[in-house]
Structure formats: C-alpha cells, structure tokens
C-alpha cells in the first residue's frame, strides 16, 4: 500500500484514469478507476476532508485497512492519494454486487448457501477481532461479491466506523453509539460500554434475514424498534420459518443472545456443523427469495434517494468552501494594499521631515532611518528628555503584559448533536467516533450520539424509516415458540 502526499508526490489523475461514479455517501464518492501503468481496475473512494486536513479518524481508517486488508474476505487497500480537499483511497474493485442483490437474482437458494455466507463472514470477523479491529457497522450493503462468477468470494467493506483497540488493551470497552438501526446491538443502545461481540449480533441479524427474508426486529417507529432490540425477543414465525431446519435456528439463537458474554464467538461458529455446511439442507427456499427480492427493491429506492441527498450535501460543501476561499483571498488583498499604502505615506512624511530639520535638530529629533521592510526606525539621542519606549512597569516592578490576541476562529464544520437513547441512529452514520471511544472511557453513562448536518436537507419519505415490515402470511399460521403468528405489518 502506497500513501502519496506532498508537493512532489504523484497525482491521482496521473496514475489513474477516473471513470463512472459507483456510489455516493454524505461525504464521499466512490468512482471506478483504471491504473494507467497496468490497466488494472480499482474503486477510488474520494473522501471530502474537513477544513482541508486529514483528521485522526480518517488516518485510523487507513491504518485499519492496512492491518486487515490482506484477508481474502476483506476489501484490499491498494494506494492512498492525499490532496488539499480530498483523501483518495484506491481499493479493490468488487463487481459481483451486494449480498441480497445477488441472492434476489438467483434461481435456486438453500440453507447451505446461507451457511456458506456465514462461514466467509465469520472468517473475516475472526481475523479482524484477532487484530484488535471491531467493524461496528456490519450490514448487507457493506458486503460485496468480488465478481459475478458462481464461486465468487464475499468482501467486507466500509471500515469508516471501525475501531482499532489500543495495544495491550484488546478487551477495552467502547462507548460511542454507532451503527445502523436494524443491525445495531442492544448493548450499544444501553450506553454502558460494549465489546467486539456487537459484530456477532449484526451477523446474527443478517443470518436471520438470509433464512426468512425479513429482520427479527421491525417497527416503523424508531423508538419502538430500539425497545424491541433491547428486549431481545424474536420469533420464528410460520409459514416463513416452517421449512428452516432446527440446526439453523440454533445458530441464530446463539448469535442473538442478549448477554454479550453468552453470545457465540467467531472461533466457535467456525466449528459449528451447520456453518460448516455439514447439516445444512439443500432444499430451495422459494418464500425466502421472494421476501429478499422485496427488500432489495426497497433498498434500491433508499439508495437512489440517498444519492440525491449526498450530491446536494457535497455540492453545498464545495460552494461553501469556494465562498470562504474567495473571502479570505479578497481580505488578504485588501490588507496587503492598505499596508503598502500606509508604509508609503509614513516614508513620505519622514523624508520631508528629514529634509527640513535633519541638519539642525539631529540631537532632539533623533536620527531616523528606513529599515529593509520600509518601516521607520528611530535611534533616540541618549540626552533626549523623552521617556524611553518599552514595557510598562508598575510600582511592584512587575512587567505588565498586554492582552494577547484572541485565537483564530475555526471554520464551522459538521455539527455534532446530542440525541437521547430514544432517537434514531443514522442509517449511514457520518461520525467517525473512534477517538471518542478513548476519551469516553472514563465516563459511566453517556447519551446516545449521532452526527447530523447543521442544516439538514428535506428527507424523502422513502428514507423516513430504516425499519422493515414483516411479510404477511397467506396461509393459516401455527402457534408456539417456533411458530408464533407474525404481527400485522406496521402502518
């Protein structure tokens, strides 16, 4: 991995040919790019820098990718190019599509296919956790296939919210509330500290959807959704779970344990017979594929709406940056012009004074000379009655210093707003809160935080909620723990 920055470093445009936009976020754009020297294809993530600097969170993301990007199920970071306004991450290009998009296009899908997905993701999590990395935003949108072939591997992407534990403190609790509503773990919502077990919870939610086509916790009201997640009670409702094996249900229960200490670990998952595809059935899950297809359509609508919002945000940020730069340049010109004019006037007055009195009153007036910067410097005669200039001294012989200038006001950036635990986590969080985890380690209770824009745009109705509606059963439902009747869909 190469980090290119500085005046003499090669430019991104010189090394790569930028192509079409592959995706957009609030403060980043992903573009297709081709390496000019080799013709190899990559994805370039262009992150808009705040105040023209690379903050510690962005550098931490790069460091995390450097540590874990060598695993076959984790996206690979190829090069980094830093400019005045952007941090450009050149990464492996995954062309096989997102996880659920891929499943929705398949003609045949079984439990064994779901077990294979869990096996690959568990290997990635086990490697990350062994290297002190917690992803904290595991969801289907961040899981991409390398290509469209039948045996393509899955890559875990988007480490913008990942946390790298300190050396020697692998079990230190994190305290920053981050994640996506449907997949967030209950201990994150509790604001009492959490560990790497949150990734297993998110993977359990993904497995639940892989088996039935809808999430275990769903509600159109975000507060109600969070209460359900914190209660940790879910059902295997009929008829959607009727064809699912008990082995698969046992794995789901082990991953969605409310107590993180009782939750199954990645090492244990890798030894599970169902995850190893030894006990996973091979019957086609027709109803599951239909439900996933419906979810995929909803995701496409939300993604299109987010792209519009992201474009507006980035355009507004660019305009604000340009306006600020123009104002600074204009002020600098005015100050420079005024300084030159003032210096010229002072020099003219001094020259006239010297020509009139320099030869007669040199003792009292003093000998005035011009310094190299054009300002007047006076060497006062020692016999002059004028008081010498210097620091003012009070009666106690202490030097009275003048008030220092006030520090330069920082350029306004993104505004962090405190939200209560009942508030919604951002579905695509913009805050990078790794630094806050270390700072907040001494806190015992902190409010749920999310970063929002200072001037939020109007959000389309399709983005009003990240919750999902459970498909309505068309056949008589059974009762019981594994066959509870699904609740009616949310209005």
What is the rounded CA–CA span in Å between residue 291 and residue 286?
9
Catalytic residue IDs: 137
What is the rounded CA–CA span in Å between residue 6 and residue 208?
48
Closest Cα partner for 206 from 256, 148, 281? 256
Q: Is it true that the peptide bond before 187 is cis, omega within 30 degrees of 0? A: no
Backbone angles phi, psi at 288, to 5 degrees: -65, -45
296's tokens: 């995929």
What is the rounded CA–CA span in Å between residue 136 and residue 197?
9
**DSSP per residue, 127-161:** HHHHTTEE-S---GGGEEESSSSTTPPEEE---TT
CA dihedral 180, 185, 187, 191 (to 10 degrees): 0
Beta strand 133-134 with 392-393 is: unpaired
Contact 216, 203 (CB under 8 A): no
202's tokens: 């998110």
How much of the chain is helix, strand and coil, in % rounded to 5? Answer: 40, 15, 45
Cα 54–chain centre separation = 13
DSSP state of 329: H
What is the rounded CA–CA span in Å between residue 400 and residue 391?
7
| Bridge partner residues of 33 (DSSP) | 18, 42
3-state SS, residue 400: strand
65's tokens: 């990718």
Q: Which residues contact 184 (CB under 8 A, 6 or more apart)?
A: 198, 202, 229, 425
Per this entry, what is the length of the chain? 491
| Bridge partner residues of 44 (DSSP) | 31, 90
64's tokens: 């995390």
Residue 105 marked in a binding site = no
What is the rounded CA–CA span in Å between residue 128 and residue 123?
9
Cα 298–chain centre separation = 23
What residue numbers does the annotated binding site cover? 45
What residue numbers does the annotated binding site for ATP cover? 45
């Amino acid at each position: 991995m190469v980090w290119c920055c500085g005046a003499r470093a090669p430019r991104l445009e010189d090394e790569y040919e930028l192509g079409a936009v592959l995706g957009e976020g609030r403060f980043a754009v992903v573009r297709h790019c081709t390496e000019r020297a080799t013709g190899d294809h990559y994805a370039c993530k262009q992150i808009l820098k705040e105040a023209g600097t690379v903050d510690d969170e962005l550098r931490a993301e790069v460091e995390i990718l450097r540590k874990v990007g060598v695993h076959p199920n984790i996206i690979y970071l190829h090069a980094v190019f830093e400019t005045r306004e952007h941090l450009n991450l050149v990464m492996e290009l995954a062309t096989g599509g997102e996880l659920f998009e891929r499943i929705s296009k398949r003609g045949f899908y079984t439990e064994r296919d779901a077990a294979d997905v869990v096996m690959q993701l568990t290997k990635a999590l086990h490697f990350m956790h062994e290297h002190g990395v917690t992803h904290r935003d595991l969801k289907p949108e961040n899981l991409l296939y390398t290509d469209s072939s039948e045996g393509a591997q899955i890559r875990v992407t988007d480490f913008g919210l990942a946390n790298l534990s300190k050396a020697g403190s692998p079990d230190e609790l994190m305290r920053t509330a981050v994640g996506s509503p449907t997949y967030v773990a209950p201990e994150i919502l509790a604001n009492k500290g959490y560990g790497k077990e949150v990734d297993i919870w998110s993977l359990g939610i993904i497995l639940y959807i892989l088996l039935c086509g809808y999430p275990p916790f769903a509600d159109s009201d975000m507060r109600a959704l969070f209460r359900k997640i914190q209660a940790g009670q879910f059902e295997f409702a009929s008829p959607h779970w009727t064809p699912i094996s008990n082995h698969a249900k046992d794995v789901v229960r082990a991953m969605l344990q409310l107590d993180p200490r009782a939750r199954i670990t990645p090492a244990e998952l890798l030894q599970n017979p169902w995850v190893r595809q030894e006990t996973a059935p091979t019957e086609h899950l027709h109803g599951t594929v239909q439900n996933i297809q419906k979810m995929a359509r909803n995701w496409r609508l939300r993604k299109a709406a987010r792209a519009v919002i992201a474009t507006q945000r980035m355009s507004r940020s660019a305009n604000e940056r340009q306006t600020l730069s123009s104002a600074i340049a204009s002020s600098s010109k005015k100050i420079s012009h005024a300084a030159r004019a003032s210096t010229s006037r002072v020099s003219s007055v001094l020259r006239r004074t010297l020509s009139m009195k320099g030869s007669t009153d040199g003792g009292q007036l003093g000998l005035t000379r011009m310094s190299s910067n054009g300002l007047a410097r006076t060497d006062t005669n020692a016999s002059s009655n004028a008081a010498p200039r210097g620091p003012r001294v009070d009666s106690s012989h202490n030097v009275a210093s003048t008030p220092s200038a006030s520090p330069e006001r920082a350029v306004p950036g993104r505004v962090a707003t405190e939200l209560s635990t009942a508030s919604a986590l951002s579905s695509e969080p913009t805050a990078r809160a790794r630094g806050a985890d270390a700072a907040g380690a001494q806190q015992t209770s902190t409010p749920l935080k999310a970063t929002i824009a200072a001037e939020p745009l109007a959000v389309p109705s399709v983005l009003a909620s990240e919750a999902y509606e459970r498909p309505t059963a068309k056949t008589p439902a059974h009762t019981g723990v594994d066959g509870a009747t699904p609740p009616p869909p949310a209005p």
